[in-house]
Amino acid sequence: MRLQPIYDIAEICARHGISQAIVCPGSRCAPLTLAFARHEKISCRTLSDERSAGFVALGIAQQTKTPAVLVSTSGSAAYNFSPAVAEAFFQQIPVLIFTADRPKEWIDQLDGQTIRQENLFGNHVKKSYTLPADYTHADAIWYIHRTVNEAIALAQEFPQGPVHINIPLREPLYPAAGEKISFTKNIRITQAAGGKIVLSEKELKPLLTELTGYQKVMLVAGQNDYHEGLLKAVEKFIKIHKVALLGDVISNFHSLSTNIPLAEIFLGQCSESVAQSLQPDLLITFGKSVISKNLKVFLRKNPSLHHWHIQPGGLSSDTFQALTRIIYAEPKLFFESLSTPPHLDKFELQKKDNYANLWKAEMHRAQLASLAFFSKSGFNELTGIREIINALPERCNLHLANSMAVRYANLIGLAEKGNGVRVFSNRGTSGIDGCTSTAVGHALSSDVPNILITGDLAFFYDRNAFWHNYPIPNLHVVVVNNHGGVIFNLIDGPGDLPEANEFFITRQRLSARHLAHEFGFQFQEADNLKQLKSSFKDFFKFDGPTRILEITTDQASSKESFNQFKNHIKSSYES
């Protein structure tokens, strides 16, 4: 058959263990759609909104830790994948994007649904390929098979990320009457195998000697997926070398008792002398981004003498403007390899321990001040989200939307007992476009309870996350509705401008009730603490359709309570 090499793309994907595809409606992509829809080993779903579909595929890939397939028709449809592609790129999530295209001779000829699709996503994909438009020659078939194999391997090679394959397709696009679609069974598969990146003894010895010589060592865990082996390796490293560990809510280090998750609270309020006492000699970082602005400011203002960043390969970021060494290794193996007890006397070990204890003391002070605030605070956004977090199921995925939801959660933190909670947030680009769709992707590809905490703007902006025909009973959504972008009332600058309400906060009057009714979801609402707590009995039951819990607040009280929280923490340092 003329389109056999295109149909075989699905077979190659399946042979590589790819089992889920998201396709968007269209005619030009029909051969791809039929291939994935009819392959018995691939679960194929369709979403009409390409922007939402891109984030759903991202969520699937993130949940399954396997590349997800994303298919679009030609023209502007493919462009709508761009926000999700950028998020996948910076979060290092493997997504295979197949975009159907017109043959090259029709580009720029005013033909329908025709744009310049080669390298459509620019530098936000690991690589972009374009397949030949004719598939009859043996070399063309070989090239198509080789390209798809290569793209799958590249998407999974560190740093993982999206790979784009543009596919020009000539008409006819549909099989002839009576023609059956089948897959080539003896198709050649190219497997990629790579060893774990470890340091040699020759490399480890000077690192261990240097590490032993520093008294004030700090670890900063950036955004990480939950990794039990990494947690254990870091915990052992901390015990042996007496170092301070800082990991905010998206680091997934909340189950370690040694972790200091509330640095954002006290680093913004402590005195200059306290900040200087916390300045590290050696900073060791791993993972991706951190949420805490105060931590970033602290480390830029009080730079470490040396900064090591641990990653398996690729380019490294100098987030804290102090990078002195990039160590190419798997973080888990790095910490395991350096967990050799140092040859130090008790006095030297005590000095190291004293530094870690300084951080613990500030953490303890922040915890006490925070508890004192919440014990007296009335109903507001911060207390509402705190109640939700404290009531989470023992095992669940917690999704935190941008902008204020993830920041509030970072101020609250997760209890150590929440070691069954896995935290996800679109902090690659930190946009609000796709936070709900990403959670939907997780829900579609797992049986785990998924709880999304989101603000009203992020929620309504991504309402097409629900515009499909697939039930998602394991997704429950908390919408904090203050009828606008409250973050612009909280950060310095926009809140005091006369244009704030119209051009920054962008007030809106929508309620999630109507959306819930439209999609057949169960709806609950709360505008006080008693009502909120009483809603938990039903909200945390995952035995029916999707549930939406809308917490209604207002801009003025949200701003006031947030400022009261900051002032309360500050006063604890002044007393």
**486 pLDDT band (50/70/90 cuts)?**
low
Supply the pLDDT for residue 560.
Answer: 85
**574 pLDDT band (50/70/90 cuts)?**
confident
Report the distance separating Cα 232 and Cα 206, nearest Å: 24
pLDDT above 70: residue 53:
yes
Mean pLDDT, rounded, for 356-369: 94
Under a CB-based contact definition with an 8 Å cutoff, are residues 150 and 128 in contact? no
pLDDT above 80: residue 271:
yes
Under a CB-based contact definition with an 8 Å cutoff, are residues 221 and 289 in contact? no
Mean pLDDT, rounded, for 504-515: 84
Supply the pLDDT for residue 417.
Answer: 62
Q: Which residues contact 221 (CB under 8 A, 6 or more apart)?
A: 234, 245, 246, 247, 251, 253, 259, 285, 286, 287
**490 pLDDT band (50/70/90 cuts)?**
low
The pTM (predicted TM-score) of the whole model is 0.95
Between 177 and 91, the higher pLDDT residue: 91
CA 62 to chain CA mean position, Å: 8
For residue range 201-218, list pLDDT tens digits in order: 999 999 999 999 999 999
Supply the pLDDT for residue 193.
Answer: 80
Supply the pLDDT for residue 230.
Answer: 98
For residue range 280-298, list pLDDT tens digits in order: 999 999 999 999 999 999 9
- The structure tokens listed for 120 are 């459509």
Give the chain's end-to-end CA distance (angstroms, integer).
80
Which residues on adjacent β-strands are paired with residue 244?
Answer: 218
Amino acid at 526: A
**427 pLDDT band (50/70/90 cuts)?**
very high
Burial 531-549 (b: 16+ CB within 10 A, else e): ebeebbeebbebeeebbbb
- Which burial class, exposed, middle or buried, applies to 417 when counting CB atoms under 10 A from its CB (0-12, 13-18, 19+)? exposed
- The structure tokens listed for 203 are 């490399």
Mean pLDDT, rounded, for 89-93: 97
Under a CB-based contact definition with an 8 Å cutoff, are residues 164 and 128 in contact? yes
For residue range 108-158, list pLDDT tens digits in order: 888 888 889 999 999 999 999 999 999 889 999 999 999 999 999 999 999
**403 pLDDT band (50/70/90 cuts)?**
confident
For residue range 516-529, list pLDDT tens digits in order: 999 999 999 999 99
Delimit the CATH 3.40.50.1220 region(s) of the chain: 201-368
Q: What is 201-368's CATH superfamily?
A: TPP-binding domain (3.40.50.1220)
| Least confident interval from 378-392, 406-420, 465-479, 495-509 | 495-509
Supply the pLDDT for residue 6.
Answer: 97
Mean pLDDT, rounded, for 185-206: 88
Q: What is 4-168's CATH superfamily?
A: Thiamin diphosphate (ThDP)-binding fold, Pyr/PP domains (3.40.50.970)
Mean pLDDT, rounded, for 179-196: 88
Mean pLDDT, rounded, for 217-238: 97
Supply the pLDDT for residue 41.
Answer: 97
Between 410 and 346, the higher pLDDT residue: 410
Mean pLDDT, rounded, for 85-106: 96
Instruction: Read off the DSSP letter of residue 433.
Output: T
What DSSP string describes 73-131?
-STHHHHTTHHHHHHHHHHT--EEEEEEE--GGGTTTT-TT----TTTTGGGSS-EEE-
Peptide bond into 172 cis (omega under 30): yes
Delimit the CATH 3.40.50.970 region(s) of the chain: 4-168, 377-574
Between 174 and 419, the higher pLDDT residue: 174
Query: SS3 helix, strand, coil % of the chain, rounded to 5?
Result: 45, 15, 40
**505 pLDDT band (50/70/90 cuts)?**
low
Supply the pLDDT for residue 83.
Answer: 98
Under a CB-based contact definition with an 8 Å cutoff, are residues 8 and 135 in contact? no
Looking at domain 377-574, its CATH architecture is 3-Layer(aba) Sandwich (3.40)
Report the distance separating Cα 21 and Cα 417, nearest Å: 36
Under a CB-based contact definition with an 8 Å cutoff, are residues 111 and 102 in contact? yes
For residue range 347-357, list pLDDT tens digits in order: 888 988 999 99
Query: What does the mean pLDDT of the chain come to?
Result: 93
Peptide bond into 575 cis (omega under 30): no
Most confident region among 9-18, 369-378, 406-415 by mean pLDDT? 9-18
**487 pLDDT band (50/70/90 cuts)?**
low
